[in-house]
Chains A and B, each alone.
Chain A
Amino acid sequence: MSSDVIREVLRVSDWLIFAYFVALNSSYLVLILMAGLEFGKHLRRAPFAGADDMFRSPLTLPVSVIVPAYNEGAGIVAAVQAMTSLRYPRYEVVVVDDGSSDDTFERLRAQFDLVEVPRVVPGEVPYRSHVLSVHVARGHPETLTVVRKTNGGKADALNVGINLARHPLICMVDADSVLDPDALLSVAKPFGDDPLRVVACGGVVRIANGCKVVGGRVVDVRMPRQWLIRVQVVEYLRAFLMGRTGWSRLGGLVVISGAFGIFRRDLVVKIGGMAHDAIGEDAELVVRLHHYLREQGADYRVIFVAEPVSWSEAPASLRVLGRQRRRWHRGIAEILGKHRAMIGNPRYGRIGLLALPYYVVFELLAPFVELAALVLLPLGLWVDAVDLAFAWRFALVAYGYGLLISLFSLFIEEVSFHRYPRWSDLLRGVLAAIIENFGYRQILAVWQVSGAAHAWQGRKPVWGTMHRQGFDESPPRDSVGVAP
């Protein structure tokens, strides 16, 4: 009798898991279709979007680009050179050296002829560390500021940068990011187009591994050499480019990557800056912004622009990838826990009723269901709850639908931005979409479950070190300085 019950439970569980996979992939499909519509709209409007007018206008809102840096000595000079030569009418770069133990600051001082100034740091948003000194570039004091502080973590470094930022818009960029020349112009444009409502705008982050980088610019886009990173390229396309564009169109964007996002400074100050206790401080800031603005009854928009982009180095080893994904999923679990009062609450509109419940069901729980499927399906086979014919069809439909979603992403990328010009890269992309179903997704689920468990256990967050391989960079220029 009891074995019958177990068999029935397993049979029902397997069907529920199957239904979950169908619902999950269908939700991705909806987001991808939304993204496709958005890209079509964007491309049709490109001829009259007015980006050049924005560049020429004396009224374009100035931006403070905040770059937190911790032990970034190897690439910091190239990164700052690139950031100080972006195409934007008026902006400053604020580098916050978060107590680096390497030569990050010394390299900056030597390259940009930094001179110390006794800046008074306002305490508009809280920071826990101690500011040691503030420096400006001797030749261009208005363009580059470098702050040295004791180590306090990324959120703390960003808060110091926010305090020192002089402009109404703040753009947070990772020190290892390579921005397209028009990236700032594109990501700030929505603030000019709809200044009363746009409060934050995220830019797309793509993977730079394998690309050719010259003078801090990606000049030749290529697929990486390793399959582990190629799979991540497809994943970034599907989840970040398509997923976030889809959410932006639905008015439910809750994640703006810390690697490239722009915010209204006054609002960030009003909500207290970055949260020190959140491991996913970038997404937490956006959710808190929604929380605050919904409670104020404000008419506002948080949006995402798909082009141009910020390029970032993806983990090249399983160990580093595992750390990153544990951290990301831990971040999701913490944010959803911290803002649980918003989930399902009509007071928070689409964020409360659609976006956050989606994140609970299809982001937070997805790896648990994936692992459950990996355990329960063989178990069902073993106890004869399901037969082999069902099992292989189940797996084929679930993973086949997932593969289709990835291929749709590649198709929309090919129609809209077609960033990978080589035929061989296109083929590698399609193969990576197939390969990710065999091992990658499963190991990802293990890391994600572990990350969520750490959050619920309240373990002390550990950021870990990202071992960078560096970009395919041409030799540095002989003489460099801050662009005027």
Chain B
Amino acid sequence: MLGVFTLVIAVLAVIVAGTSAAIIAVRVVRQARHRRIAALAAGPRRALLNFVADNGEQGGPDLVAIPDEAWQAAEPGALALLGKLRGEAHRALVSVFLRRGVARRALGNLHSRSRVRRAKAAQVLGDLELRRAVPELCRLLTDRHLEVRVVAVRALGRIGDPAAAWRLIAALDRSDQIPSLLATHTLVQLGPEAEVTLSAALDHPQARVRAVCLDALGLLGAAGSVHRIARVLTEDGTLDVRVAAAANLGKLGTRAGLEPLTAVLTPATRPTALRTAAAKALGDLGAPSAVPALAALLDDEQFWVAHEAAHALRRLGPAGQDALRAVIEQEAGRARSAGVGAHARPSSAAGHAREALALAAVAAAAHEMATVG
């Protein structure tokens, strides 16, 4: 038995020594590799910065002529630079990438067996904002690996071709889902031309698809879809979808949203999340005619309904803030007539009103400071 122990100790000693040596070797190799890459990338990096500083007018052929090894060392930096550029400089740098065959290689890598390589290729095509890659990226929306689909969705957003809208919506209807927020952001990046597709998708059988499309319409400012969204608010069978409809009616800020939003505030038996979202949306809507309905909610039993109503009144400006003051004064009057004066315990309505007015005063002071500054 002792022999086994001795053997184990010897093996452990070898592994300990080997691991210590490996730690040192890893550092030596990494530092040498970093130095080599830094040396290789230094020239191309200078050329890239000069090229961008000249708005891409000069130096393009020099960048194309950089040897492959040096370009590969500089490519991550060049791709990062691409994301920061707009306009002519961006187009010129994209042209350099295309002439170096980066897009061709990336399109080829979309068919790679490695999911990491497929995802990297999709990322590069998105960075290049290459429209001709859209059909291939749309094909990637059915990739068996979620992480590849996610990168394809982001790339389609960067490219911003509205033709991809319906494929993106179709990709949402899977069990292994693309994150809703990412899908929404991408649909928004496709621009106003996607509105028709998004509006049509409000009748989609999947609640998640309807919610995503509602959020995208709200962010796009699709005022033409207000009536359809109002219909979803009143008729949809899923609470989350109705909440999204309420929030986005507020964002769209048209008068057509006023009546349906006011209608869902009462009775108090309606879901709290819906009433809270509607109260908040009325504040976003900016219509002073919502003041009476919101003021009536200040003593609501549900904390968040009353809280959002008070803050919606604050955002509605003088008319809303007058209503908040009125609640406080009414309560003070009642306290005086009851003979308790300043010792009265404030009601929740007055509490919410005081909070909203105080924040309005702070925000006004901050705005004034910023204006003066």
Contact = CB atoms under 8 A, between A and B. Distances in A.
A196 interface: yes
A139 interface: yes
A401 B362 contact: no
Interface residues of A, number: 50
A423 to B, nearest CB: 8
A50 B20 contact: no
Given A118-B354, A120-B307, A192-B182, A393 B26 contact: no
Contact of A415 (B26, B83, B370): B26
B179 A393 contact: no
A407 B20 contact: yes
Contact of B362 (A61, A115, A193, A408): A115
B116 A194 contact: no
Given A53-B154, A117-B355, A410-B23, A139 B366 contact: yes
A45 B114 CA distance: 12
Interface string B106-126: 000000000010011011000
A50 B362 contact: no
Contacts of B355: 117-120
A57 B15 CA distance: 48
B330 interface: no
A85 B288 CA distance: 36
A122 B366 contact: no
A192 B351 CA distance: 35
Interface string A147-179: 000000000000000000000000000000000
B9 interface: yes
Contacts of B9: 393, 396-397, 400
B133 to A, nearest CB: 15
Contacts of B234: none
Nearest to A124: B303
A426 B8 CA distance: 27
B122 A48 contact: yes
Contacts of A45: 116, 119, 147
B23 A411 contact: yes
B359 A117 contact: yes
Interface in B118-143: 119-120, 122-123
A430 interface: yes
A141 B366 contact: yes
- Please classify the interface of chain B as helix (H, G, I), strand (E, B), loop, or mixed, using the class held by over half of its residues: helix
A390 B188 CA distance: 71
B22 interface: yes
Contact of A404 (B16, B120, B122): B16
B151 A58 contact: no
B284 interface: no
A359 to B, nearest CB: 27
B184 interface: yes
Interface in B1-33: 1-2, 5-6, 8-9, 12-13, 15-16, 19-20, 22-24, 26-27, 30
A408 B22 CA distance: 10
Contacts of B179: 192-195
A183 interface: no
A120 B359 CA distance: 12
Contacts of A59: 181, 184-185, 215, 219
Contact of B19 (A193, A404, A423): A404
A193 B150 CA distance: 8
A389 B3 CA distance: 10
B177 interface: yes
A50 B154 contact: yes
A120 B5 contact: no
A106 interface: no
B5 A390 contact: yes
B181 A195 contact: yes
Nearest 9 Cβ contacts at the A-B interface: A393-B5, A48-B123, A117-B358, A400-B12, A59-B181, A407-B19, A120-B351, A118-B354, A141-B362
7 contacts: A48-B123, A57-B185, A58-B188, A136-B359, A389-B2, A404-B15, A414-B27
Interface of B: 1-2, 5-6, 8-9, 12-13, 15-16, 19-20, 22-24, 26-27, 30, 76, 83, 116, 119-120, 122-123, 147, 150-151, 154, 157, 177, 179-182, 184-185, 188, 215, 219, 303-304, 307, 348, 351-352, 354-355, 358-359, 362-363, 365-366, 369-370
